A and B are shown apart, each in its own frame.
Chain A
Amino acid sequence: MSEFDPHALAEEDFLEEVRSVDFWFQAVDGYLRDRSYGRVDGTPEPVMEAGERDNLITTLCNYCVGETAALEASSGLVVIAPNRHAKIFLATQVLDEARHLEVFIRRLSDLGVEDPEHEIELRANPNLVRFKDRLLEFVADRDWDAAVFAQNVILETMEYTVFRAHLQDADPVTAQVLDGVVKDERRHLGFGENDLGRRLVAMPEKRERLAEVRAELDELVLVTFEEVQDSVGVERSARADLGGEYLAAVERLGLT
């Protein structure tokens, strides 16, 4: 029997399929089964120098800030989602974001951080915190387009890009944790671009509003990008490509 391909379905059936909890169960089963808190049991804890460990803690704390933003925003978006497919998809995203927070907090504990929530507050990047505040304002204002754009396009692209870059040089345990997270983020990005893409085709007048949101958030995103990459240790020569992925995502939506 040939493998099931959801892209062969008609549009409504496609949404019914890929934005379902049942689809999510199957999707995550492939990469979360047999892992505990994102890591493969028995993987030894790597030996790290103090400075390297401290940098990793700062990085993970900021990942937690981003994931908290995504958890609070996606849960707030469930109630204002314009249709049942979007509500169901966002419910799966709520679970994903909470899981990311859980596995990063667990990783901080593995690294010897006694009070992760306090440490996250101490090490939070102010630009990322400002981004989070702005995102949650969009949600509180029930501004669906701006909130989905800020969360599922801007924030998710930033996370997806940074996590993948980090994955290349991460210690084995952190790499396992990041691997599962990256797979979730790809699904979230797909939702954001698909949902907004359809809405912009149907209502092109929204393009101008989203371009304004992009202009407002660009600086925060790009500065945060730079600072997080500093802490992760991404080579300067690779950074143009990382920024390019973010710019490509917004350009696909015609928001240049």
Chain B
Amino acid sequence: MADFLSQYSIQRWLEMCPQGYLEDTVYGHSPELKEPVILVGNETLREESIRTTVQLVVGERCALAASSGLVNAAPDFPSKRFLATQTLDEARHVEIFTRRLFDLGVKEDDLESTLDEFANPNLVKFAEVLLEKVEAGDFIAGVVGQNIVLEGMAFSVFEMLEAVSREANPKFAETLTGTIADERRHVGFGENRIGSLIREHPERKADVEKMQAEMTYHMLATFADSFRGNAAVVEETRAVAAAEGFGPETAEWHGTDLAAASPEEMEAILADTVLGEFKTRLGRIGLEYQSPPVPA
């Protein structure tokens, strides 16, 4: 364990992150890049971008509260040290996505009301399930909830958004690329550190799996709201973008062309990808994926 945890030192984090892939960026992107004019100027496109970005801020605020809250619950210094780097990473993500809301025209004074207006209620419940475990000082459940479930979801969502934005919005795509690199590190820690703790405490499996099923339920409900439940808006946004000549001709992700896929198809590919990752990662730490009831 000691060798694996030594890979998560702050020295290494400094070299990889601020002195590595984030070098020469400002709020996560090259200084010269801006939000596309069409995105800020067209009300339909702008509102959809705000809606999407609000979900990212809500998720990252949850991750910041969870990672900082888990520092004190961590059983050893190397784990505390890793969680300190994750705390800073999550704070950075909150900062860059909040900054994007400002770039999209949200006023500082309207930030909280905008978050309240657009935050998906199921995503808020998803966060509450995790933060309840963190608040109780439950390190094992907290790390599984945060570094496997939340980060696993965020990882795929960011990848999907990056694929769609790569051509049309390089600023947002660059911002996402840095966060994806961070999330990869976080997921790796969760898998490596928790595997040994689950082996030491097999009696915790049922409780942790129950939490995973509950979080998964709210995650799938969030996806359903965002695609099927929002299909008319998604289609309208796509039509407006096409009329303005904005957006990629194709955006391939996991074998699906996101530029042409229906909202139902997009939801299906995202859910399948995330659940596939969950099964693999949970299996690696000795847990069995639990299917939640399908959201209505």
Contact = CB atoms under 8 A, between A and B. Distances in A.
Q: Determine the main DSSP class of B at the interface with A.
A: helix
Contact of A71 (B71, B85, B98): B71
Contact of B94 (A32, A72, A88, A101): A88
Contacts of B121: none
A102 B84 CA distance: 11
B288 interface: no
B100 to A, nearest CB: 14
Contacts of A76: 68-69, 71-72
Contact of A98 (B19, B80, B98): B80
B88 interface: yes
Interface in B35-90: 64-65, 68-69, 71-72, 77, 80-81, 83-85, 87-88, 90
B22 interface: yes
Given A36-B11, A101-B77, A78 B18 contact: no
Given A12-B108, A98-B85, A102-B10, A88 B91 contact: yes
Contacts of A22: 26-27, 95
Contacts of A25: 18, 22
Nearest to A98: B84
B88 A79 contact: no
Indicate the size class of the contact surface on chain B: 20 to 34
Nearest to B11: A37
B18 A28 contact: yes
Contacts of A20: 95
B9 interface: yes
Chain A interface extent, by class: 20 to 34
Contact of B95 (A21, A37, A71, A78): A21
Contacts of B65: 78-79
B92 interface: yes
Interface stretch (A46-54, A89-97, A124-132, A194-202): A89-97
A87 interface: yes
A61 to B, nearest CB: 13
Contacts of B91: 21, 78, 87-88, 91-92
Contacts of B83: 75
Interface string A23-56: 0110011001100110000000000000000000
B14 interface: yes
Given A12-B108, A29-B19, A98-B81, A79 B72 contact: no
A164 interface: no
Contacts of A135: none
A22 B85 CA distance: 15
Contact of A94 (B14, B22, B84, B94): B84
Interface of A: 12, 16, 20-22, 24-25, 28-29, 32-33, 36-37, 71-72, 75-76, 78-79, 84, 87-88, 90-92, 94-95, 97-99, 101-102, 105, 117
8 contacts: A32-B14, A72-B72, A76-B68, A84-B94, A88-B95, A91-B90, A98-B80, A102-B10
